[in-house]
Amino acid sequence: MTAWVKRHSPMLPISMFGIVLALVAALTLPGVRVAVARALPWGSHGAGMPAPGSIPPSPSSAADLRAGASEVVTAGHQFTDRSGRPILLKSIMWEGFNDIGMMAHGLDRQPLSYIAGLLKHQGFDSVRLLFSNGMLHFTHRKTDAAVAQKNPELAGLIPRQAFYRVVEEITKAGLYVVIDNHQTRSGYFRHDEGQWFTANYDESRWLRDWDYVAYLFRANPRVIGYEFRNEVRSNHVDPTEPVWGGGGKYDWRRAQVAAATTVWRRNPAKIAFISGLDYDSTLVPVVSDPITAKDFPDMHGPIYLAYSVHSFAWFSSHDAQGKSLNIHLFTMAPAVQRQVLYASFGFVAASNAAYTAPIWLSEFGVTPDASDTYAATFKNLLSYLSELHISFGYYTLSSWYPKQPQYMSHCYDNAPTAQQDPGYGTHCNNYGLLDRDWSRFVDDWRLEALKPLLSSP
């Protein structure tokens, strides 16, 4: 076992591995497994989990509400714990339940507890966990053999059962989870989706799915909140751009109020992460039309709202209505970049206004072989986050994963390293921070640049 540790995980000290391995060993003891099973409402595998459409219509019990009150809440422009102590969310995105495999990436390579240990050791305290609506309803597949070998607790589960179990294990490891509805159908990136509905999947079904997800995690205090849709936009099938306010089918503000109302019926002590327009790149519209407590007249007590935004080097500045000006960040001087970041989202946390709320930069990242201008933009963004004490979620944990299914072998099995494979970036996602076998974090300049943020209180 010691040789395995040295061979696969040189970035962690042996003392840390003693803790991780002891935890893994402990969870295999019969007595501990029984305790875990009793702690979960549907048994240790979640095999008795109700299907969507079969959950109770009534609100959660008082016991569920007390047990599931989020350990992280909001107060003014800050995230805080229940005692009011400020918290900086240091998140990383974990893909898979949104993808064609309908399973968190990397679990065919390492035990889930091992990966969670890597995250905590590196300084991350939370996971942005993605899912697709299709995954919740898919019943014709069970955990594949490679995942079951590394994670026997997931053996025999259909996707939504595995999803529940993975969330439980991540939170038991001491990490927070924000659950993100990434897309409707499962797939890497769907150019025929962009709104929170499709021609075959209307808003009412989307809200019913959110009711189901909120029901599943109503009593888990480390599931701190919900992000209702990733990067709303027009798409190849429906070119209508979502709008902010005014009512109607494409009003993203209205839809998020409806989604927040839905999840809060199950447990009002969770955070609703509100996103803006243009691929989550701007919150400009909230200046004139913020979401506030007045939008939730049936809520009694505090409401917990935060804003989720994205920023990459190729993102643009916007006009006063939130329309892209197609002037990219990487072309700007550092001081101008900061002005754009403030105008896009920083103003929300830096003001005392009706729209003031915590910011969570839930997607940003860069590749190891980024150009000088992209790398400089990334570092300037990190400095901005540090100065304003803005919570963040790096894109992404997953490494060596294909941009399209046909590149699976090229990206996941054959390519030795990004540096040795010049064509890697063309077909594969090399934003990830873990190496190909998920045994350790990569040793490159990006992790060094992130360390000051990850070590900040």
278, two tokens: 């243009």
Of 157-161, 361-365, 439-443, 445-449, where does mean pLDDT reach its minimum? 439-443
Is the bond leading into 367 cis (omega within 30 degrees of zero)?
Answer: no
Does position 425 have pLDDT exceeding 90, yes or no? Answer: no
CA 24 centroid distance within chain:
25
Residue 287 in 3-state DSSP?
helix
Instruction: In whole angstroms, give the CA distance from residue 114 to residue 206.
Output: 33
If you ran DSSP here, which 8-state letter would residue 331 be given?
G
Mean confidence (pLDDT) of the chain: 86
pLDDT tens digits along 154-173: 999 999 999 999 999 999 99
pLDDT-based confidence at residue 265 (cuts at 50, 70, 90): very high
Confidence of residue 278 (pLDDT cuts 50, 70, 90): very high
Residue 414 confidence class, pLDDT cut points 50, 70, 90: low
For residue 8, which of 114, 105, 98, 96 has the smallest C-alpha distance?
A: 114
Of 280, 101, 92, the closest CA to residue 187 belongs to: 101
* pLDDT for 424 beyond 90: no
DSSP assignment, residue 251? B
In this prediction, residue 305 carries a pLDDT of: 97
Cα→Cα distances 121→42, 102, 435, Å: 31, 27, 16
Q: Which two tokens stand for residue 70?
A: 């989020």
Give 164 or 402, the one with higher predicted confidence. 164
Among the residue ranges 9-18, 56-65, 344-353, the one predicted with the least confidence is: 9-18
Above 80 in pLDDT, residue 366? Answer: yes
Say whether pLDDT at 264 is over 70: yes
Beta strands 359-363 and 428-429: pairing type? Answer: unpaired
**In the block, residue with structure tokens 């927070």:** 176
Answer yes or no: is pLDDT of 402 > 80. Answer: no
Please name the residues in contact with 440: beta carbons below 8 A apart, sequence gap of 6 or more: 8, 9, 10, 11, 12, 118, 434
- The pLDDT of 370-396, averaged and rounded, is 96
pLDDT of 51:
93
Pairing verdict, β 324-328 and 316-318: antiparallel
Average pLDDT over residues 290-302: 93
Sequence spans of domains, the chain: 40-397+432-454
What's the mean pLDDT in 84-104? 95
Average of per-residue pLDDT across 132-152: 95
Report how far residue 12's alpha carbon sits from residue 117's, in angstroms, rounded to the nearest whole number. Answer: 10
Nearest to 89 by CA among 308, 267, 351, 263: 308
Q: Does the pLDDT of residue 419 top 50, yes or no?
A: no
d(CA 362, CA 177): 12
Q: Which amino acid is at 271?
A: I
Class for domain 40-397+432-454, per CATH? alpha beta
Q: Quick check: 367 and 430 in contact, CB under 8 A?
A: yes
User: Model pTM greater than 0.85?
Assistant: yes
Q: What pLDDT is stored for residue 324 in this prediction?
A: 85
Q: Render 194-219 in DSSP notation, one character per residue.
A: -SS-BTTB-HHHHHHHHHHHHHHTTT
Containing 225, the helix (H) or strand (E) segment is strand 223-227
76, exposed or middle or buried, with CB in 10 Å at 0-12, 13-18, 19+? exposed
Task: Supply the pLDDT for residue 401.
Answer: 65
Looking at per-residue pLDDT, the higher value among 207 and 190 belongs to 207
What is the structure's pLDDT at 170? 98
Average pLDDT of the segment spanning 101-109: 92
Closest of 380, 244, 245, 392 to residue 307, by C-alpha: 392
Instruction: Name the residue with tokens 């395995």.
Output: 4
Chain centroid to Cα 168, Å, comes to: 15
Q: 3-class DSSP state for residue 408?
A: helix
Q: Which amino acid is at 135?
A: M
The string of pLDDT tens digits covering residues 13-46 is: 333 434 333 333 333 333 333 233 334 566 555 6
What DSSP element (H or E) covers 317?
strand 316-318
Which range has the top average pLDDT, 31-40, 50-59, 290-299, 315-324? 290-299
Nearest to 307 by CA among 384, 250, 362, 261: 362
Find out whether 456 and 386 touch, Cβ atoms under 8 Å. yes
Q: Which residues pair with 94 in a beta bridge?
A: 129
* Among the ranges given (37-46, 200-209, 387-396), the one the predictor scored with the smallest mean pLDDT: 37-46
